Amino acid sequence: MQALTYSHIQNIVNQIPESKLTTAYNFLIELTESKKTNLPTKLSLSKKHKILEKQAYQMISHYEQTESKRQQWQSGDFIDEY
- Report the C-alpha gap between 67 and 69 in whole angstroms: 6
Residues 6+ apart with CB under 8 A from 63: 70
pTM summary value: 0.38
Q: How confident is the model at residue 12 (pLDDT cuts 50, 70, 90)?
A: very high
Q: What is the pLDDT of residue 36?
A: 64
Burial of 39 (0-12, 13-18, 19+ CB in 10 A): exposed
Q: What is the pLDDT of residue 82?
A: 66
Per-residue pLDDT tens over the stretch 19-57: 999 999 988 888 888 666 656 677 788 988 998 999 998
- Report the C-alpha gap between 79 and 76 in whole angstroms: 9
Asked if 24 and 16 count as a contact pair (C-beta separation under 8 A), the reply is: yes
Nearest CA among 39, 63, 37 for reference residue 51: 39
Per-chain mean pLDDT for the chain: 83
On the question of pLDDT at 80 being above 80, the answer is no
